[in-house]
Structure 1
Amino acid sequence: MVLLIALLLEKKQYSKKTFYLYLVYVFLLVATAFLDYIIDTWYLQNMVIFFSSMIISIDHMTQVSDQWLETKKELLFSEYRASHDIMTGLWNKTSGRDKVKNCLENMSESDVAALGFVDIDNFKSVNDTYGHEIGDFWICEIAAALQKICDSSDIACRYGGDEYIFFLQNIGNLDELTTRIEKFRKEVHDKAVEREQNVHCSIGIYQVKGAGKN
C-alpha cells in the first residue's frame, strides 16, 4: 500500500508507459502477498521475481526507445532548421539556391522549366499600414500560395524578407505555366479581398531550356 501511494504521488515524474508498468509491478506485489497469506505457495514468489524482472526490462527498453526517439527528433529538427525557413516552411535561401542549381545542371536537352521571382509590392507600406503581425501573415500566405502551384519535384524558396524564388520543372507548354501562375495570383487576390487589405505581388518568370546534358 505504501508503494502504491508513493507511486501515485510521484506520477508526474514518470512517462505514461513507465507509470503503468510500475503500477502493474505494485499490484503483483500486493496480489502475491495476499495469496501467499491465504495459501502458502513457494512458486508465487518465483512468479513475482520473474514478472518483476520482465517489468524492469521492459521499462529499461522503453526508456532507451524514448531517448532514441527524442534524439532522432532533435536531429531531424536541426536538419530541418538548417535547410528551411522556419516562418514559412519553404526552403531557405542557401538550400533553395543549391537545389535550383542542381536542377539546372542536370536538365536534359529536351527539358523545359520555369524560374520565377516573387516579391510583395510595397511591403514596407503593408507593415506600416497594417502592422508587422499582418506583414508576417502575408509572408506566410504568399509562401502557402506558392506551395500550392508546386509539384513534389518543384522548388519554392524564401529568398529573403518578402522575396521568393520558385522553380517549376517539366513545364510542357505555356498554357500550363499560365494556369499555375493564374492560380497563384487568384489565391493572393481572393485572400486580399477577403481581408480587405491592399496586398499584391510582382512576378518575374524566366523560361529555362535544357543544356543538352544527358
Structure 2
Amino acid sequence: MTITTQLPLGAESMAERAYQVLRDRLIMMDIAPGDPINEAQLVAELGIGRTPLREALKRLEVDHLVQSYPRRGTFASRVDITELADITEVRQALEPLAAAKAAVLQGGSARAGIQTTLAAVQQLSGENLRRTLMENDLEVHRLIYQAAGNHHLEQTLIRLDNLATRIWCMALDRLPSIDEHIDEHVALLQAILDGHAQRAQELALEHIVHFEKSVRSVL
C-alpha cells in the first residue's frame, strides 16, 4: 500500500508564497550569501507553519539558492562567480529560443504584463535606480519565459536567470552605467510585442552576451 503525505488545506499555496518571498530575497541579496535561514523567524513573519516553509526550502535547495546541512541547518548558498560561464552557455542556447517563441505569439498570455513592464522600463534611468532596475530585470525575463508558452523552458530559464542575477548583484555597484541594459530591454520587449521573431532572437542573444561581458569586466 502506498502512503501519500498530504499537506494541510491551504498549505500548498502557503508553501508557494513562502517560496516566492524567500527566492526573491535570496536573489536580491536581502538574505546574504552564507547567512542562516531562521525558520522560527520566517514562520512568525510570514504567518505560515513549518511544513509549508520546509516545502519551500526544499524547492530553493533544488534551485541552488540554499544549502541544508544535517544538524547545522539551512543557509543561503554562496555565490560562485566561476559558474557564470556555464550559466551563460545554456542561456545563450535557450534565451533566444524563448524570445523567438514569445514573439511568434506576440507575448501570448503575458502580453498585457509585457506592455505594462515595457512602459515602466522606458521610464527608468540608471542613476540611483539600480535596485529598481534589478527588480525590473527579473520581471522582464520572467515575462518573456512565460510568453514562450513552454512550461519546461520557462522553469529552466527562471532558475538560470535567478543564479545569473545573484552574480550580477555582486558587480552592479561597480558598473559605470546601466542605461544600455535598459535600452536592450526596451528593444527586446518591443520586438516581441511586434511579432518580430528573428529580431527578438538576435536581441536576446546580444543581451546575454553583453551581460556576461559587463559582469566579467568588473569582477
Q: TM-score normalized by structure 1?
A: 0.24
Structure with the greater alpha carbon radius of gyration: 1
Q: TM-score normalized by structure 2?
A: 0.24
